[in-house]
Structures are given as C-alpha cells and as structure tokens.
Amino acid sequence: MSRIALFDYGAGNLHSLAKGLEAGGARVSVTADWGEALAMDALVLPGVGSFGAAVRALEGHETRVRDALLDGLPCLGICLGMQLLFPESEEGAGVGIGLIPGRVRKLRARTVPQMGWNDVEADAAPDPLLSELGAFTAYYANSYVCDVDDGEAVIAESEYEGERYPAAVRRARSWGVQFHPEKSSTPGLQLLRNFLAQVDGTEAAPGGDR
C-alpha cells in the first residue's frame, strides 16, 4: 500500500481528495511538513486555496521539492496544485516549484471562474495517467490556467468559451491536472487509481522526461 503525502497549505477541506486516494488503495497522510511529505512514496498537491497562500507554505523549500520531483518522486498536482508546479502566477506574488517552464495566467473568458463540467481531450495513445479513460468530462472550478513553454509537457487539453488551455501536464513522474478528479465521478476516481498504479510500479512508467 502506497504512502501518499497530501500536502496541506492550510487553506481548505481535503476530505474528498483523501477519500478518493484511499478508495484507490493508498494510505494517506495529511501534512504541512515538507520533510515528512518528501519522505513518503508520493506527493499530492491539492486544489484548495490561492497561489499566494500555497507559495507561502512552499517558501524556502522550492529547490528541495523540485529536486525531489526531478529525482523521481511521483507527484500529482490538482488545480492550484498543478499551477504550483510552475514558476509564477498572475494570481499572486511568490515563487512556485518551477518544475514546468511557463506561467499561470487568468482565463480570458467572459465568465470567470469556470465552474462545472467540461470535456478533456487527450491523445489517441494517452499518457498512463489517462489510461482507460477515453473521452471524458471532468469538474472544473478555476479562474486561472497555465501557459506552458514546452508543448510536449501537455498531455490533455480543454476548451472554455473558445479558449484552449492545458487540462493536464507531465514532467518526469510528476503530473498536473487543472480539473478536480475527486469531484469528477467515475473518470476522476479512475485517474487517481492510474496515478497510484504509477506510484506502485504496477504500470509501465511514462517514457522520457517531457
């Protein structure tokens, strides 16, 4: 059973995400201590709070966390957690982990935030995180999206009011999803199981360092 660190920025309820991971067979520890988090089998960065609050919790540990992820610690960033994988955000001052080059910016849509279900489009041969999902819809609650400098890091896209943006990204064994799998019914739970399969090594690891 994988030991999963669910990092707590001190900004919200993590109950549904913890339950989703536990349903996939993980043993979840909620922690606000980076030393404890990086000693687990994998790290999950949840989608609650603001970028500013999250980077305050990260402050002084950016390089340590980035090096752990580059060294192969599996990580799943959800919504805000995905955005934290980038160096900076328009939402607030501070420095993110900087694992994926690019920038987080506000949606250019008329209606912000985006709230509700939206289609997720992946390649015909999807990344292992999206295995067995096919075409699916996921639940979004976001005002910001990620501009990715390296297009090969994008593994899925969505569209909102005519604007396309990354729905999911990957580098090494770290993934980010802009939607909330814990609120996305059966497809979301399958995605969490896919992540845990990568942590456990029960599926082939993704090739390359995108």
Summarised one tens digit per residue, pLDDT across range 162-183 is 999 999 999 999 999 999 999 9
* Exposed / middle / buried, residue 124 (Cβ in 10 Å: 0-12, 13-18, 19+): exposed
Assess whether pLDDT exceeds 90 at residue 207: no
Which residue of the set 62, 88, 91, 182 is catalytic? 182
Give yes or no: 180 in active site: yes
For 90-123, what is each residue's pLDDT tens digit? 999 999 999 999 999 999 999 999 999 999 999 8
Q: Which pLDDT band holds residue 2 (cuts at 50, 70, 90)?
A: very high
Q: What is the mean pLDDT of residues 80-86?
A: 97
Report the C-alpha gap between 13 and 4 in whole angstroms.
17
For 21-46, what is each residue's pLDDT tens digit? 999 999 999 999 999 999 999 999 99
Which residue of the set 62, 91, 146, 180 is catalytic? 180
**Is 48 or 24 the better-scoring residue by pLDDT?**
24
Give yes or no: 146 in active site: no
For 115-167, what is each residue's pLDDT tens digit? 999 999 998 889 999 999 988 999 999 999 999 999 999 999 999 999 999 99
Q: What is the pLDDT of residue 125?
A: 86
Sequence-distant (6+) residues with CB within 8 A of 109 are: 160, 161, 162, 163
Q: Which pLDDT band holds residue 204 (cuts at 50, 70, 90)?
A: very low
Q: What is the pLDDT of residue 210?
A: 46
Assess whether pLDDT exceeds 50 at residue 206: no
Sequence-distant (6+) residues with CB within 8 A of 172 are: 69, 70, 72, 99, 209, 210
Q: What is the pLDDT of residue 155?
A: 97
Query: Number of C-alpha atoms within 13 angstroms, CB side, residue 5?
Result: 21
Which residue of the set 75, 79, 88, 146 is catalytic? 79
Q: Which residue ranges make up each domain of the chain? A: 3-200
User: Which numeric CATH code is attached to 3-200?
Assistant: 3.40.50.880
Q: What is the pLDDT of residue 202?
A: 65
Report the C-alpha gap between 170 and 131 in whole angstroms.
14
